[in-house]
Amino acid sequence: MRMKRVLVLCIFLVMSLGAFGCSGDAQSEIEELKQQVGKLQENTLTLDKDIKALEEENSELKREISGLEALVNLNDSNGDLTDLTLSEEARYEEFRASYDDGSLAGLGPLSVCKLYLHASSAEDYETVYELYTKNEKYVQWSKEEDRNFPKSDRMKDFGVYRDVYDLNIGYTESGEKHAIITWKSRNGDSDEKLGAYTYGFSLVKDGEIWKVNFMPIQ
């Protein structure tokens, strides 16, 4: 802000001097001052871009910290992936009111996963479909086809999404950014040799919004 005020004063000074007759030496100094003002303008634009980039990085970092805190809380409390926090519940209601992806802005993959599982457990199948990615590379069936799926083909047992532990999120990037959430459940399967089964849930980023992959559960 201070640099901008200095820049404005410099421009005003140059314009004021240019409005009056000047000697050759003074005119030369004015031209030099104009060049300096031009450089100041360029530096100000660069600084503004840098500040904006830092603000975006800061916002992304805050979202990642929030996601990590949610992971810690769920791991500490033997969490339920179908149970929404108050803020997630508000986002859920906002999203299902219009199905505008903007309602999901700023939500991390864990929260979007929880919205999907919550909608599934509530038999809110339209919201379930709207949470799927709209990226044509990954779309596997239409909304009309989804409406015709029999209830017997829908998710019914939610035990493995409750009483979870060892919850983690991994990220990969291959054109789009992908996330895979893994966990174990005290209600899940286990093997005498391998131990508790690890479940997975996959998401992909549509632009800046996390959406659910078709057939996300692994």
Distance, CA of 135 to CA of 25 (rounded, Å):
64
Q: Which of the 8 DSSP states describes residue 23?
A: -
At 218 the pLDDT is: 81
At 196 the pLDDT is: 92
Specify whether the CB–CB gap between 44 and 32 falls below 8 A: no
For the chain, percent of residues with pLDDT exceeding 90:
57
209 vs 17: which has the higher pLDDT: 209
Q: What is the mean pLDDT of the chain?
A: 83
Task: Name the strand (E) or helix (H) holding 166.
Answer: strand 164-174
Strand 199-206 to strand 209-217: parallel, antiparallel, or no bridges (unpaired)?
antiparallel
Q: What residue spans define the domains of the chain?
A: 2-56, 80-217
* 133-138 mean pLDDT: 95
CATH architecture of 80-217: Roll (3.10)
At 22 the pLDDT is: 56
* Lowest-confidence pick of 1-5, 79-83, 195-199: 1-5
Distance, CA of 10 to CA of 67 (rounded, Å):
47
pLDDT digits (tens, 9 = 90+) for 77-123: 458 999 999 999 999 999 999 999 999 999 999 999 999 999 999 99
* 148-172 mean pLDDT: 93
Tokens of 211: 């959406």
Specify whether the CB–CB gap between 50 and 56 falls below 8 A: no
At 164 the pLDDT is: 93
At 47 the pLDDT is: 76
Could you please report the per-residue DSSP string of 92-149? HHHHHHH--GGGGTT--HHHHHHHHHHHHHTT-HHHHHHTB---TTT--S-HHHHHTS
Distance, CA of 204 to CA of 178 (rounded, Å):
4
173 vs 215: which has the higher pLDDT: 215
**Nearest in space to 206 (alpha carbons), one of 118, 114, 138, 119:** 138
At 98 the pLDDT is: 96
pLDDT digits (tens, 9 = 90+) for 14-40: 555 555 555 666 677 777 777 787 787
Task: Name the strand (E) or helix (H) holding 176.
Answer: strand 176-185
30 vs 139: which has the higher pLDDT: 139
At 2 the pLDDT is: 54
